[in-house]
Structure 1
Amino acid sequence: MINKNKEVTVIIGGGHAAGTLLTALLQKKYPHKVVMVSEEPHPPYQRPPLSKNYLAGEVDKASLYLKPPSIYEKAGQQLRLGVRVEQINRDDKNLILSDQSTLKYDQLVLATGSHVRRLNVRGSDLKGIHYLHDIADTDALRRELVPGKRLVIVGGGYIGLEVAASATKQGVKVTVLEAADRLMQRVTGPEISEFLYAKHTSAGVDVRLGAAVIGFESDDQGCVNGVTLADGGKVSADIVLVSIGVIPETALAENAGLLCDDGVVVDEFTRTDDPDILAIGDCTRHHNLFFDKRQRLESVANAVEQARTAAATLMSEEKPYDSPPWFWSNQYDVRLQMVGLSQNHDQRVLRGSILDKEFAVFYLCLGHVIAVDAVNFPVAFMVGKQLVKLRKSVSAEVLSNPNIELKSLI
């Protein structure tokens, strides 16, 4: 158990998890000094808008911030921005920073997030090839999204498809290259994949499935001007976005000797194997009471819930993290909301109308609802949250029957 009488709590990282933890500690009137160290020059901010309305120029940078910087300062929380933690010395509870200073801690919270997965193929270092993970990435990409330009997106997951929608609305010619045989294959079923394929193609996006990238072509100035595919085909490009997933940022934890396994391993109270170090957000592989095994989740919901649990742990409260995971995506006029993990389902049930763009897919395993994907169907999502949390057994006939109110199922 972490000792409340200790004086300095340091948070490493400045993303959604770190920002939510700062806010939760404020609300709980946490009695100790809090210092957040972040490599980025910004206070904690939301990342989802980076591929959507911020990329489209519909909102400004300040609107991304979870709180105005003055809120933290007034509360006595110190933000050390633009500084990287180079090393954790657990023996003397000391951090070595990139500005050559050191920082003592009594409690430490790792909220280091993740970094983008790089595509290591011929020409991958050419100018005009982008990745999207932070504000600077979006700013750089947005400057190049000029009407008539040809944007090739490598990867048909959340980020890739959201950027495709944003860029298309700005008059950019978009091609999406997905190596798998359907979009978002890792996280959803074929009904959603096919719906999104139809949505993007009808908007003018050239979506190519089974398209593995093996290299990039350049012009005389060293800028990307084409993408080479494994089948020998080539796609012309003025701009390329590579969006093929992320990798948990665990280097600090590993070098400090903390237990890691594709993420910093934590329990349901966000504790690592060091009693004075917690970890939250995308960097963690956690034991959620909802699952039988540890999971690594890349979502705002996970970051928020783990941060709230960490705040409780720092206050010596017992608040396990046991919420079912949920996700969302906005593309054109589509609001996709997802709860649970559908990978192990043995039955899918459709409710609503795909043609009317308002439907839900319920995923069952041995008769129990384990996940729900809802398109423009918020009631199905909200009811689905409860069904998944309760692991409710519901028949396919009931789930698909429009004459039975969904709310009556909980």
Structure 2
Amino acid sequence: MTVVIIGGGQAGLQVADSLRAGGHAGTITVIADEPGLPYQRPPLSKDYLAAGSDPSPLPLRAASFFSEKDISLRNGAAAVAVDRAGKSVSLSDGSALPYDHLVFATGAANRALTCPGADLPGVHGLKTLGDAETLHSAFDAARNVVVVGAGFIGLEVAAAARSRGCAVTVLEFAPRPMGRALSPDMGDWFTAAHTGLGVSMRLNEGIGHFEAGPDGRVATAVSTAGARYPADLVVVGIGVVPNDALAAAAGLETGNGIVVDAALRTSDPSILAVGDCASFPSVHTGGRARLESVQNATDQGRHAARTILGTPSPYGDLPWFWSTQGNLRLQIAGLWAPGDETLVVGEPESGKFSILCFRNSRLAAVESVNSPADHMGARKLLAAGRGPSPEEAAAPGFSLKSHARQVSPTPV
């Protein structure tokens, strides 16, 4: 049985690794359109950009992995067409690969900014190693940095820019940062925390247009409120869109990603999709979800391998996320939703605390700042469906770590 995987990121390599671990003896080919070894993307907006860093890409797997596991890595060539009837994938180098099972692990692309001046020199996105290398060098000469978008990437970049001595302004059209991912109270706390780090947080204020200086490079960001901000460097982080065009062109069902069933199979049962590009039925939201996280990529990679190996089951792994923004380490277990009841554990003033989110009196998510023990306890409790009640969590001296130990003998 021949398996072809389109995408050399976290999800794609996990499928390949798990197939071999599960006993698959057939051909496995990974198509990665970037040259070189596939690398970890999360550090690109964190350690890679920080002051004093000596950045180098961190490979997802060592070069020896591919030879030892007998996995063919076709890097530097992109998949350009899928022939479902003939079960083959055409590549940009003119070659074609046959498959019995095909996996889309195509990830997502940065959402494009379309305002006037968005194409000026000095306006950057951040997705690839090349983008990070460009920004790392650009920070050396930058004085005034404008970040468009206060999501995870935007705030990670803002913190890194501050560590490099830049004046930083963040423009965010929403009323709080990371609004889709965080409870309002945690979003407000991060606004104050970044302000304390010297970042100018301009909320309810998007980007209107950019203006060039005499040298033709970006010099000014003009917001939707008409305010003007000096900007010799701009970083755009306004979210991503799934890379599903190739799947759609092949006639697969798409809609905010490649639509899959609970076993991660597309509308063609010989084709699967995993990671950032996959829209799957989520037991945690009660509807379809498309998650952008290392956890989701790796867990879905393992799950897809089991489906290919003939042991399909509904995917329901607990989602969790992290973001390091300067000295602030945010960790999230579960998914917050509007209307959740929230409760604070710890002291926000100390910079080390958690917010527990309850839905219908059941623990649904936990957001932690600089509290890794809380996060690990929350993951164990949420995965087991044995979280505390709001009354238990409100009791004096309550500890997520202690509560997790009480309900499970496994160390937390």
Rate the CA distance shift 1:94–1:247 in 2: closer, same or farther, 3 A: same
Following superposition, the deviation at residue 188 of structure 1 comes to 0.6
Runs of 5+ consecutive residues of structure 2 not aligned to the other structure: 408-412
Following superposition, the deviation at residue 391 of structure 1 comes to 4.2
Match of 2:46 in 1: 52
Following superposition, the deviation at residue 393 of structure 1 comes to 6.2
Match of 1:387 in 2: 381
Rate the CA distance shift 1:127–1:268 in 2: closer, same or farther, 3 A: same
Following superposition, the deviation at residue 389 of structure 1 comes to 3.1
CA contact (8 A) 1:344 1:365 kept: no
Of 327, 338, 342 in structure 2, the residue corresponding to residue 348 of structure 1 is 342
CA contact (8 A) 1:266 1:279 kept: yes
Match of 2:161 in 1: 167
Matched letter for residue 149 of structure 2: G
Match of 1:91 in 2: 85
Following superposition, the deviation at residue 189 of structure 1 comes to 1.4
Are 1:408 and 2:412 matched, yes or no?
no
SS at match of 1:37: strand
41-50 or 237-246: which moved more? 41-50
Q: Please list, as runs of the form range in 1=range in 2, the aligned pairs for 1:90-129 lying within 5 A after superposition.
A: 90-129=84-123
Match of 1:285 in 2: 279
Following superposition, the deviation at residue 290 of structure 1 comes to 3.7
CA contact (8 A) 2:142 2:232 kept: no
Rate the CA distance shift 1:289–1:347 in 2: closer, same or farther, 3 A: closer
Q: Across the two proteins, how many residue pairs are aligned to each other?
A: 403
Q: Please list, as runs of the form range in 1=range in 2, the aligned pairs for 1:116-195 lying within 5 A after superposition.
A: 116-146=110-140, 149-195=143-189
Q: Please list, as runs of the form range in 1=range in 2, the aligned pairs for 1:18-57 lying within 5 A after superposition.
A: 18-56=12-50
Q: 2: CA distance between counterparts of 1:402 and 1:353?
A: 13
Rate the CA distance shift 1:212–1:348 in 2: closer, same or farther, 3 A: same
358-367 or 387-396: which moved more? 387-396
Q: 1: CA distance between counterparts of 2:54 and 2:367?
A: 28
Give the structure-1-normalised TM-score. Answer: 0.94
| 1:333-366 deviation per Cα after TM superposition (whole angstroms, max 9, x unaligned) | 2211101111144311111000111111111111
CA contact (8 A) 2:363 2:389 kept: no
Match of 1:3 in 2: none
SS at match of 2:140: coil
Q: 2: CA distance between counterparts of 1:25 and 1:363?
A: 37
Are 1:217 and 2:211 matched, yes or no?
yes
Are 1:302 and 2:334 matched, yes or no?
no
Rate the CA distance shift 1:59–1:338 in 2: closer, same or farther, 3 A: farther
Rate the CA distance shift 1:147–1:272 in 2: closer, same or farther, 3 A: same
CA contact (8 A) 1:10 1:37 kept: yes
CA contact (8 A) 2:150 2:171 kept: yes
Following superposition, the deviation at residue 331 of structure 1 comes to 1.5
Q: 1: CA distance between counterparts of 2:37 and 2:338?
A: 39
Of 358, 361, 364 in structure 2, the residue corresponding to residue 367 of structure 1 is 361
Q: 1: CA distance between counterparts of 2:56 and 2:145?
A: 24
Following superposition, the deviation at residue 73 of structure 1 comes to 2.1
| 1:262-316 deviation per Cα after TM superposition (whole angstroms, max 9, x unaligned) | 1111122211111111110000001234442111111111001000001111221
Q: 2: CA distance between counterparts of 1:315 and 1:358?
A: 44
SS at match of 1:137: helix
Q: 2: CA distance between counterparts of 1:165 and 1:290?
A: 31
Q: 1: CA distance between counterparts of 2:23 and 2:131?
A: 35
Runs of 4+ off more than 6 Å: none
Are 1:66 and 2:55 matched, yes or no?
no
Are 1:244 and 2:238 matched, yes or no?
yes
168-177 or 123-132: which moved more? 168-177
Q: 1: CA distance between counterparts of 2:211 and 2:240?
A: 24
132-141 or 143-152: which moved more? 143-152
Q: Considering only aligned residues, what root-mean-square deviation do their CA atoms show, in Å?
A: 1.7
SS at match of 2:47: coil
Matched letter for residue 103 of structure 2: V
Rate the CA distance shift 1:58–1:321 in 2: closer, same or farther, 3 A: farther
Rate the CA distance shift 1:22–1:403 in 2: closer, same or farther, 3 A: same
Of 1, 9, 12 in structure 1, the residue corresponding to residue 3 of structure 2 is 9
| 1:236-258 deviation per Cα after TM superposition (whole angstroms, max 9, x unaligned) | 10000010000000001000011
Give the structure-2-normalised TM-score. Answer: 0.94
Q: 1: CA distance between counterparts of 2:140 and 2:54?
A: 18
Q: 1: CA distance between counterparts of 2:27 and 2:37?
A: 18
Runs of 5+ consecutive residues of structure 1 not aligned to the other structure: 1-5
| 1:4-53 deviation per Cα after TM superposition (whole angstroms, max 9, x unaligned) | xx2x2111011111122222223223211111111111322211101001
Q: 2: CA distance between counterparts of 1:17 and 1:110?
A: 9
216-225 or 302-311: which moved more? 216-225
